Structure 1
């Protein structure tokens, strides 16, 4: 009986096999999302906390105690952030009735303007608003499910991180033993680069978020936008969602300025300030702080962020970029997958392969016959 290797099969069979495998993998990721999402976050954060744990162990601290202390420091920092945001939100809640009344007045004036200038009756506008609200209930439900999923992640994360750091050697030995001995060098290189990419990406994101949060808050305070610190901090956190978060972040201060101030000068100032901040972020902070190791081109970044949202919601948007960065590292180390690694990267060739092939054909055509042979 002759067995046909998949590499020897026709292209349509190879592509069909790969497509079925990808569909099955995505389906498994979707079904097991509640289990895989906390594990994915835990894996990235365990890599981030590992240097701190190793440093504590070099100070003659027992391994379990070093891991626990590193995890405790991370929990304290996150708790301090949430405490800061909660105090700001409490102040926002005190003015919520006034903001609601002001927003109702603006909405009533907007309906009158639309009725007078666009000819749409106010009753028709109310009907359209109700339809939008009804159609958005599904989206609200999905958002609540995502928030509940995030709460589940927060509860499980410390446990997963602790055991991943505790059994780090066991996990690494498993990865080396799974692959053939001749691939040990490639496995080691992939692990080292993956660790460096994850640490660089997450630390870079934290530094970028802090800088953007300070710039947002200062700009909003100078413009006199109410709750500038809260809105600026939320904008910095939303900025963690590549490309899409920045659009949402700029809408929050514009809406607050519209509700709390007369005229449009403040809104224009907010848009101008955020445009400058986004320019600084995209051209200075991200290339020098975040993208030193994670070099994914903009097109692939947008695509994987949207795919991550479709697959895992909000957590998927945060995990998409570091996950693809790990895939790129693996692709670059495997000869058969190097084209995929180049597709994900941000190195743009000056010429495509078709031009080079045509140049070789032309050169071969003009050469004398004795040089061609």
Structure 2
């Protein structure tokens, strides 16, 4: 009761006509946004469609500026290095499209068959465990999983026809690449313009932007290195244990680190599931090596590759992933960790006392 009385007294002290007017004004703004939501959504969607190629182009230029800078340090002019980087990347993509993608498409059906075989193997083992038959809910789950995987397998032959529906994506990608090339040639001018505007906003905002740029740059470099390491590790592992889908699993493992903890765990489960038809010794060796590699990658390789500043605790990483998925879906998952790094830098910058404040405290 004492707490309630103090709360009521506090409300009476802070309550004023000016305060009520602010609350009503905020509520009116919220109501107006809700009432005109359709208009705002259409307007924001149009703005996003206009600026999307430029945003994607900026991201591409931001990532590819690292090899360009390495070439410049070696004495190769930027006018030569930029076309060289794009030619190499386009050549790699052409190789993937001409050789790797058909191979993966051919293997996809057998890959899904391996998963179905693994599910059925688990079901048969459970049937052997229960004398009176498998519980009904387990049978329903097994049948639903097999049916879903069979439906996915049926879609695969129609994938070439679905490619004709991706013209808009290809167009946006082409525009983004062209825009990124122009941005690469004038990168210093773009960077100086952004920093000049940030300096006009606030010196502290300018310093925070520089810090965010440094952290995200370190993160991108680290992720590219880790993706190559994971691909090599797991390609060798699945190849040695005899899994015929070793190439698919290696690529999935490399890409899965973009979704920390959840992605690699999910791909490891798929790898084990597709290997259940192998000899028992191979399955045991695979499980043991996955456990070993997971710990080595997590506690040895990643800390070496990542700088100390870009490390994020597992709890914060999972929170960032779920928040990103809730807000933006799959794109939100992809940018969750960089966004978390940026937020952490900004929080530290504004939570730490400035030099002037420190001097006042000392005096």
Q: Distance in 1 between matches of 2:189 and 2:313?
A: 34
Q: Distance in 1 between matches of 2:215 and 2:103?
A: 34
Q: What residue is the counterpart of 1:366 in the other structure?
A: none
Runs of 5+ in structure 2 lacking a partner? 1-17, 156-161, 353-363
| Residues 295-321 of structure 1 deviation map (CA, whole Å, 9 limit, x = unaligned) | 333222111212223333333222221
Runs of 5+ in structure 1 lacking a partner? 1-7, 340-373
Q: What residue is the counterpart of 1:198 in the other structure?
A: 216
| Residues 102-125 of structure 1 deviation map (CA, whole Å, 9 limit, x = unaligned) | 569648847966794334299x73
Cα 1:222/1:52, change in 2 over 3 Å: closer
Report deviation, 1:208: 0.9
1:232 correspondence with 2:247 = no
Q: What residue is the counterpart of 1:72 in the other structure?
A: 87
SS at match of 1:118: coil
Q: What residue is the counterpart of 1:354 in the other structure?
A: none
Q: Under a length normalisation based on structure 1, what TM-score does the superposition of the two structures give?
A: 0.63
Task: Write the mapping of 1:278-317 to structure 2, written as runs, cut at 5 A.
Answer: 278-317=294-333
Q: Distance in 2 between matches of 1:284 and 1:177?
A: 40
Asked whether the equivalents of residues 320 and 337 of structure 2 are also in contact (C-alpha less than 8 Å), the reply is yes
1:171 correspondence with 2:186 = no
Asked whether the equivalents of residues 116 and 146 of structure 2 are also in contact (C-alpha less than 8 Å), the reply is no
Q: What residue is the counterpart of 1:353 in the other structure?
A: none
Q: Distance in 2 between matches of 1:94 and 1:228?
A: 14
Asked whether the equivalents of residues 226 and 305 of structure 2 are also in contact (C-alpha less than 8 Å), the reply is yes
Report deviation, 1:292: 3.8
Q: Distance in 2 between matches of 1:322 and 1:121?
A: 41
Q: Distance in 1 between matches of 2:313 and 2:116?
A: 45
Q: Distance in 2 between matches of 1:180 and 1:101?
A: 58
Q: What residue is the counterpart of 2:278 in the other structure?
A: 261
Q: Distance in 2 between matches of 1:127 and 1:210?
A: 35
Asked whether the equivalents of residues 234 and 250 of structure 2 are also in contact (C-alpha less than 8 Å), the reply is yes
1:331 correspondence with 2:350 = no
Q: Distance in 2 between matches of 1:318 and 1:297?
A: 17
Q: Distance in 2 between matches of 1:309 and 1:44?
A: 20
Q: Distance in 2 between matches of 1:274 and 1:35?
A: 45
Report deviation, 1:67: 3.3
Q: What residue is the counterpart of 1:125 in the other structure?
A: 140
Report deviation, 1:172: 3.2
SS at match of 2:310: coil
Q: What residue is the counterpart of 1:86 in the other structure?
A: 101
Report deviation, 1:128: 7.0
Q: Which of 48, 52, 61 is the matching residue for 1:46?
A: 61
Asked whether the equivalents of residues 68 and 82 of structure 2 are also in contact (C-alpha less than 8 Å), the reply is yes
Q: Give the stretch that moved more between structures: 159-168 or 112-121.
A: 112-121
1:211 correspondence with 2:229 = yes
Cα 1:96/1:242, change in 2 over 3 Å: closer
| Residues 107-147 of structure 1 deviation map (CA, whole Å, 9 limit, x = unaligned) | 8847966794334299x73897299959x99xx9xxx9xx9
SS at match of 2:136: coil
| Residues 247-302 of structure 1 deviation map (CA, whole Å, 9 limit, x = unaligned) | 211122112112x3355x44333222111111111111222213444233322211
1:161 correspondence with 2:177 = no
Asked whether the equivalents of residues 241 and 317 of structure 1 are also in contact (C-alpha less than 8 Å), the reply is yes
Cα 1:127/1:276, change in 2 over 3 Å: closer
Q: Distance in 1 between matches of 2:142 and 2:272?
A: 26
SS at match of 1:257: coil
Asked whether the equivalents of residues 114 and 275 of structure 2 are also in contact (C-alpha less than 8 Å), the reply is no
